[in-house]
A and B are shown apart, each in its own frame.
Chain A
C-alpha cells in the first residue's frame, strides 16, 4: 500500500501520511463497506483516493487512447513484418532472477513507467489483482485498463530485451 501511495506523491514521508490517512478513512468508511468488493480492493481504492487528494506528483490528463505503437516501428519492414526480430533473453533473465539480481532492477523499471501504466502494472502483475478489481480501484473502464496494461507490460518487455542484449 505504501508503494501504491508512493506512486502518486513526491516523497516517502508523504506516502506514509497517505497510508495513515487511509487507515483513518477506513475507520470512517467501514459503514459504507457492504461486501461489494474484496477487502484488499476496497482498501486500495481508499488509498488511491487518499493519495490523489494529497498527490502532487503528476496531474494527469487521459492519454489512454494513445495510438502510439508499443514496438519501435523501425523494427518492422514496409510490409509490417519483423526486420529486427525480438532477441532472446528469457533464459538469461530467469537466471538473473534466481540469483536475486533482477528484482530491484524491475522495481526501478516499474517506477519509471508513466503513472497510470505503473498503477495498473503494480496492481495487476505485482499485487495479482484481477482486471475487474483494478478497474474498481482506479476507476478505469475495462478497455482503458487493458490499454494501460498493454503499454506498461510492453515497455517492460523491451527493457528486459535491452538489458540482456547488452550483457551478451
Chain B
C-alpha cells in the first residue's frame, strides 16, 4: 500500500488499510495515522465498524466441520499412528 508520507490520510486511502489494521499488520506510523484519521472521521469510523460487523456476521455461519463420526475415526487413526511411532 502506497502512502503519502508525512501527510494526513484521506478516506479513500483509509478504507484500503482497514484489513491490515485489523490484522495488526500496519507499521506503527501508518497505524497512528490511520487512528488519527478515524478520530476525526465519522464515516470511516462507521466503515471500520461495518467491516468488523461483516466479519462477525460471516463468522456466525455454521462452519462445515467434520461430522462427529469422521472426527472420531480420524482421531482413532491418528492415535494409532502416534502409538506406532513410539
A residues within 8 Å of B by Cβ?
A: 1-4, 26-27, 30-31, 33, 39, 43, 69-71, 73, 76, 79-82, 85-86, 88-90, 93-94, 97, 102-103, 106-107, 110, 121, 125-128, 131, 142, 146, 149-150, 153-154, 156-157, 160-161
Contact status of A88 and B57, CB under 8 A, knowing A80-B12, A131-B23, A153-B51: no
Complex contact A76–B66 (CB within 8 A): no
Complex contact A126–B59 (CB within 8 A): yes
Complex contact B60–A154 (CB within 8 A): no
Nearest CB of chain B from residue A93's CB, rounded to whole Å: 6
> Looking at chain A's contact residues, is the secondary structure mostly helix, strand, loop, or mixed?
helix
Additional 9 contacts, C-beta under 8 A, given A2-B64, A76-B12, A90-B50:
A69-B12, A69-B15, A80-B11, A82-B43, A86-B50, A125-B58, A128-B63, A146-B20, A153-B51
Complex contact B64–A153 (CB within 8 A): no
Complex contact A71–B61 (CB within 8 A): no
B33-48, CB < 8 A from A: 43-44, 46-47
Can you report 28 A-B residue pairs in the complex whose CB atoms are below 8 A from each other?
A1-B66, A26-B77, A27-B77, A33-B78, A39-B78, A69-B15, A70-B16, A71-B15, A76-B10, A80-B10, A80-B11, A82-B44, A86-B46, A86-B47, A94-B53, A94-B57, A103-B61, A110-B58, A125-B55, A125-B59, A126-B58, A146-B23, A146-B25, A150-B16, A154-B15, A154-B18, A156-B58, A160-B53
Nearest CB of chain B from residue A151's CB, rounded to whole Å: 9
> Looking at chain B's contact residues, is the secondary structure mostly helix, strand, loop, or mixed?
helix
Point out the residues of chain A lying under 8 angstroms from B11, CB to CB.
76, 80-82
Count how many chain B residues have C-beta atoms less than 8 Å from C-beta atoms of the other chain: 35
Point out the residues of chain A lying under 8 angstroms from B61, CB to CB.
103, 106-107, 126
Nearest CB of chain A from residue B70's CB, rounded to whole Å: 8
Q: How far is the CA of A90 from the CA of B47 in the complex (A)?
A: 10
Point out the residues of chain A lying under 8 angstroms from B53, CB to CB.
90, 93-94, 160
Nearest B-chain residue to A30, judged by Cβ: B81
Point out the residues of chain B lying under 8 angstroms from A76, CB to CB.
10-12
Q: How far is the CA of A127 from the CA of B25 in the complex (A)?
A: 21
Contact status of A93 and B57, CB under 8 A, knowing A31-B81, A81-B10, A157-B50: yes
Point out the residues of chain B lying under 8 angstroms from A126, CB to CB.
58-59, 61, 63
Pick the most buried of B51, B54, B59: most chain A CB atoms within 10 A of its CB. Answer: B54
